[in-house]
Amino acid sequence: MAARNYDIPELRRLDVAHHLPAQANYGEIQALGGSRIITRAEGSTIFDGEGNAILDGMAGLWCVNVGYGRDELVRTAAEQMQELPFYNTFFKTATPPTVLLATKLAELLGGDLQHVFFNSSGSEANDTVMRMVRHYWNVSGQPKRTVFISRRNAYHGSTMAGASLGGMKAMHPIGGLPIPGVEHVAQPYKFGEGFGEDDESFYARCAQEIEDRILAVGPENVAAFIGEPVQGAGGVIIPSKSYWKRVDAICKKYGILLVIDEVICGFGRLGEWFGFQHFGVTPDLVPMAKGLSSGYLPISAVGVSHKIVEVLREKGGDFVHGYTYSGHPVAAAVALKNLEIIEREGLVQRVKNDIGPYYAAALSRLESDPLVGEVRTLGLIGAVEIVSKRGTNERFTGEEGKAGPIVRDACIRNGLMVRGIRDSIVMCPPLIITREEIDRMVDFIGRALRESEPALRALKAEVKA
Ligand SMILES: *Cc1c(COP(=O)(O)O)cnc(C)c1O
């Protein structure tokens, strides 16, 4: 579709005057003269109001798995809106797309995960998790089990519960978080926190910290452990399979529920339908969002084990929780169609056997760059660590934090959207990205690193002075 003729300078002016964007520094946005206005997109490319084509290395925000411009999803939404644009699930009522989507998700999740609760966002899904888990333990006769164990740099959303479960230090002072009953332990961040250490001993140490915390808090007080298979927003932190096997075993040893947050990893990102399938663990609850609808409409879900639902049916009484838009029929219909596309086009297998390995090989070319300390990928997610000295994990300012945004801005200037997280850039392209586009991504990053070098070296000097 051609771009409409927007008045971009006026939109940018109005953006500053009236719009407060998410996760932003409002002074900075004002100084910039407003946000970059994105007007349209096709395949794996977004276009801004100035006419720049930008390769979308972030699949929107880790979500546009099937790519942009899918007419099928547009038609599905329009048809469902005509037939039934809205109905709720409060009044002992449900709608066909909602029931069918729950059924499809139960099939994909497999095993004991046969029940699904709907919400509109990943954050809301984790609020549901927190309330459902605590309610479950309460009616099970173990009301002291209220504590959630999570990890530093985990991301579980931005609501009061989501940001509390998350382990992002910068988020906690905003709103007086975390709320009580959340404990944060080590992240399995080998490059940052176990550099030079033997893999096996590092990951064993990270898992052991979970067991130690459980014992310190008292197992009788611990409700659940929550973790992303691969931490996304925290910097694409990819643990070993042995790490997850240990965490799974620790949870089972103490009867603690395992919550695997699949908001990013779900729906093919890691080369399986779900990240927990790649790592070979068996969660009790599975929050998911983003790729569920490829971002075409807001919808999230929580997969819940039959073991939990049996207790809720028997002893749970009213589960006084849920949202106006829980199971929204239009969002559910679009999600269902999105899953059909992923299945029909074999996108999960494509990530595992074809484009994922190609992506890994292409990005690894950056490892010879003097500014690159590590390239890590799994499926179609990845990170490039920027260091001041090759072969080390030394940062440009002597501490973590400044290099990522500098290289990110250079990538965007070159025509590639990435995120800068502390001293890395991270990528998460649509599952339909082509080999040629991946090669372009690698070229853009290489060029951005060269262009960033003076600013990065100046950063170091600035700190020394
Ligand atoms: C994005 C994200 C969330 C929050 O989802 P929202 O839709 O932004 O509320 C939760 N968990 C993970 C792992 C995420 O990446």
Instruction: Give distance in angstroms: CA of 122 to centre of ligand 1.
Output: 4
One-letter amino acid at 285 equals L
Q: Which atom of ligand 1 is nearest to the CA of 261?
A: 13
Residue ranges per structural domain of the chain: 36-66+346-464, 72-344
| Residue 238: strand, helix, or coil | coil
Ligand 1: residue of 63, 118, 121 to mutate (most ligand atoms within 8 A of CB) is 121
pLDDT score for 400: 73
Instruction: Give distance in angstroms: CA of 382 to centre of ligand 1.
Output: 17
Mean per-residue pLDDT, 293-322: 98
pLDDT score for 464: 57
Q: Identify the sign of the CA torsion 58, 430, 156, 22.
A: positive
Instruction: Give distance in angstroms: CA of 430 to centre of ligand 1.
Output: 17
DSSP character at residue 355? I
Q: Identify the sign of the CA torsion 265, 244, 168, 214.
A: positive
Tell me if the domain spanning 72-344 has CATH number 3.30.470.10: no
462 pLDDT more than 80:
no
pLDDT score for 3: 65
Ligand 1: residue of 63, 123, 164, 259 to mutate (most ligand atoms within 8 A of CB) is 123
CATH architecture of 36-66+346-464: Alpha-Beta Complex (3.90)
Ligand 1: residue of 58, 160, 290, 292 to mutate (most ligand atoms within 8 A of CB) is 290
Structure confidence at residue 398 as a pLDDT band (50, 70, 90): confident
Instruction: Give distance in angstroms: CA of 315 to centre of ligand 1.
Output: 31
Q: Which atom of ligand 1 is nearest to the CA of 228?
A: 13
Ligand 1: residue of 61, 156, 237, 259 to mutate (most ligand atoms within 8 A of CB) is 156
pLDDT score for 122: 98
- Which protein residue's CA is at the shortest distance from atom 13 of ligand 1? 263
Taking CB atoms and a 6 Å cutoff, what residues make up the pocket around ligand 1?
A: 62, 121-123, 155-158, 228, 232-233, 261, 263-264, 289
pLDDT score for 397: 87
Task: Kindly report the pTM of this predicted structure.
Answer: 0.98
Instruction: Give distance in angstroms: CA of 156 to centre of ligand 1.
Output: 5
DSSP character at residue 2? P
Q: Which atom of ligand 1 is nearest to the CA of 289?
A: 7
**Digit-coded pLDDT (tens) for 125-158:** 999 999 999 999 999 999 999 999 999 999 999 9
Let me know: does 115 contact 306? Beta carbons within 8 Å. yes
Instruction: Give distance in angstroms: CA of 457 to centre of ligand 1.
Output: 34
Let me know: does 232 contact 108? Beta carbons within 8 Å. no
DSSP character at residue 434? -
Q: Which atom of ligand 1 is nearest to the CA of 122?
A: 5
pLDDT score for 370: 96
Ligand 1: residue of 151, 168, 264, 286 to mutate (most ligand atoms within 8 A of CB) is 264
Peptide bond before 178: cis, by omega within 30 degrees of 0?
A: yes
Let me know: does 303 contact 105? Beta carbons within 8 Å. yes
4 pLDDT more than 90:
no
463 pLDDT more than 70:
no
**Digit-coded pLDDT (tens) for 233-287:** 999 999 999 999 999 999 999 999 999 999 999 999 999 999 999 999 999 999 9
